[in-house]
Amino acid sequence: MKPTREVLLKAHLKAMHLHGFQGMRTDKVIQSLEITKGAFYHYFPDKLSLGYAIVDELLKPQYLNIWKKVEQHPQGVKEGLLEVLAYFSQSVCTNDERASLGCPLNNLIQEMAPLDEGFHNRLQFIVAEERRMLRQALQKGIQSGRLSAHLEADDVALFILASVQGAFAIAKALKSKGAFDQAIGVLVNWVSQMK
Amino acid sequence: MKPTREVLLKAHLKAMHLHGFQGMRTDKVIQSLEITKGAFYHYFPDKLSLGYAIVDELLKPQYLNIWKKVEQHPQGVKEGLLEVLAYFSQSVCTNDERASLGCPLNNLIQEMAPLDEGFHNRLQFIVAEERRMLRQALQKGIQSGRLSAHLEADDVALFILASVQGAFAIAKALKSKGAFDQAIGVLVNWVSQMK
DNA sequence: GGATACACCTACTAGTTGGTAGGTGTATCT
DNA sequence: AGATACACCTACCAACTAGTAGGTGTATCC
């Protein structure tokens, strides 16, 4: 038997991935788990707190771990970056669902950032951290002489994050794993030739 | 006095931009317009049809018109593309709201594409048209010799669309007009150096 | 002048949804 | 053995929300 709280978190994350936070119905999720409302409200004071917990305990560690790899790659920034992009590509392309449901983090940003400060602060923090890690990795590349000193690390970091998010968005619109790969492919080329 | 149907469409588009389609409450919008339910259901059989009408009559023509300019620019593809990017940049940067609310089309894709076939078909069509127009513009550039024959027009078209969408998404997460400009700036550089 | 069509309004409902009050069973601690 | 804390259940509610039934006023056509 898995701990109920964890089961609730994961099941709601899945539901949120499809319906969004507002569209997700705690009633339905609870029903599907064959648990009752009492259990839910024993662990979470309300729906909003559950949403925050999903971000804090599931999304945040997952996304920060992915991008951390860029900075920590033994061979260098470019290699680390290409590995992360390959990971995304593979994660989307082994799974039909991911192509049509998109990136959970991106979905939540688009839906909730303008509606709720609590969500916005949490999501902004994650994106800002990704940006910081990517920027520092690029700066390390510049210092080691592998990348040109003319490269604007902060701008490039932001652009790469945007392009990945965008690739998810486009793949979702076209419901096409191939489209994700095409867009990421161009980014990979660009990164490979980056100086 | 403006025609009621048009007023309903525009007011609901605005509400949808903030709350999403599911989160948008027809009751509230109608109330704010000092119109009653009767008027709404006189023009639209239900909420879903209103949503479709917003896409067909407001979003689709707007977005197709923007990207049409790339193909029709007298000087060439690159110039047309840079103009469109400048337009986006300016449209976001003159308006604080746009930075935090993002791109209405992107929002709707993220929210509704996996949930409703009617929405998905409409949104997919718009993105596919944008892609087609951009690809044809690039191919024209290749044929005229301004762009290299090695350039993969379809991939690049998709990548540019993704990057623009992504720039909107990142700007929304960070609630920062500047972030949009930074990301678009890198894209502009890339396009300028495109061969 | 009567009929028809259009553009709305009022009042209502059925179903849903997040949330609550209060209770039960079980393990642990003293 | 009694008390306390935890994990969960049942039954309920108040608020909301899309949608409906049926009516009113006005312009237009015949």
**Is B102–A110 a contact, with Cβ atoms under 8 angstroms apart?**
yes
**Is A182–B106 a contact, with Cβ atoms under 8 angstroms apart?**
no
Domain that holds residue A96: 49-192
- Check the CA dihedral B48-B52-B53-B54 and report its sign: positive
User: Is A91 within a domain?
Assistant: yes
User: Is B175 within a domain?
Assistant: yes
- Average pLDDT in the A65-90 region? 92
**Is B22–A18 a contact, with Cβ atoms under 8 angstroms apart?**
no
User: Is B53 within a domain?
Assistant: yes
Band the pLDDT of A2: cuts 50, 70, 90.
confident
User: Is A90 within a domain?
Assistant: yes
**How many domains, chain A?**
1
User: Is A54 within a domain?
Assistant: yes
Q: What per-residue confidence (pLDDT) applies to B9?
A: 96
- How many Å apart are A3 CA and C30 C1'? 28
Q: Looking at chain B, how many residues does it have?
A: 195
User: Is B23 within a domain?
Assistant: no
- How many Å apart are A13 CA and D9 C1'? 24
List protein-proximal bases of chain D (any atom < 7 A from a CB): 7-12, 16-23
Per DSSP, A83 falls in state H
Closest CA to A112 of A103, A101, A121: A121
- Check the CA dihedral A107-A109-A115-A120 and report its sign: positive
Per-residue pLDDT of chain B (195 residues; tens, 9 = 90+): 678 999 999 999 999 999 999 999 999 999 999 899 999 999 999 999 999 999 999 999 999 999 999 989 999 899 999 999 999 988 876 666 667 889 999 999 999 999 999 999 999 999 999 999 999 999 999 999 999 999 999 999 999 999 999 999 999 999 999 999 999 999 999 999 988
Q: Which residues, 6 or more positions from B143, have their beta carbon under 8 angstroms from its beta carbon?
A: none
A123, B173 Cβ separation under 8 angstroms: yes
- Domain at B136, CATH number: 1.10.357.10
User: Is A61 within a domain?
Assistant: yes
Alpha-carbon gap, residue B73 to B83, rounded angstroms = 9
Residue type, A31: Q
User: Is B41 within a domain?
Assistant: no
- From the Cβ of B26, is strand D under 7 Å away? yes
Nearest nt (C1') to A40 (CA)? D8
